[in-house]
Amino acid sequence: MDELKNYDRRENSLRYLSDLAREGAFEVGDYLLGRNQDFNHVQKLAGILGKYQLKDTDNFVTGPDFPYIPLWRVIRKNSDKDIRNYSQVALEMRLLRFELEDIPTKSNNLEELGSFLYDLSREFSIQAMHDYSRRLIA
């Protein structure tokens, strides 16, 4: 959408990721209502996750410059697993990316995926506000 063009489009910025995830959630919802066949934002998000995919051997020092904490929070919230280390987050990222890339052809849980994207958007946004508040205090 146009609002995604109105600010810094660094692909790893919290605000941009939040907007992509939100628009992706809308795309999924509109598809379920029969009003959408385009998943442009979902595919962009999947591409970014692929570019910043954690390796099983990464840690907080070696991982690429990407806001993994909001992603980790949503993954933990939506999983029965106790996800505590980078290799587990790396695996969940791969699974998420494959689901996003397969929308809508192979996805049988689109409602859950749309909800996940909405939660992810909210977590990126919360982290952006938190980071902004910390900069104001400093």
Return the domain boundaries, the chain: 2-137
- Average pLDDT over all residues of the chain: 86
- How distant is the alpha carbon of residue 50 from its chain centre? 11
Q: Is the pLDDT confidence value at 3 over 80?
A: no
Q: Output the six-digit token pair for 88.
A: 């587990």
Let me know the angle formed at the C-alpha of 81 by 78 and 83, rounded to the nearest 5 degrees. 90
Whole-prediction pTM: 0.84
For residues 51-78, give the mean pLDDT.
Answer: 85
Q: Which of 39, 3, 18 is nearest to 132 (CA)?
A: 18
**pLDDT over threshold 50, residue 7:** no
Q: Are 55 and 90 in contact (CB under 8 A)?
A: yes
Q: pLDDT band for 137, please (50, 70, 90 cuts).
A: low
Q: What does the alpha-carbon distance between residue 71 and residue 24 come to, in Å, rounded to a whole number?
A: 15
Task: Report the length, in residues, of the chain.
Answer: 138
φ, ψ (nearest 5 deg) of residue 39: -125, 45
Specify burial of residue 46 (Cβ count, 10 A radius: 0-12, 13-18, 19+).
Answer: buried
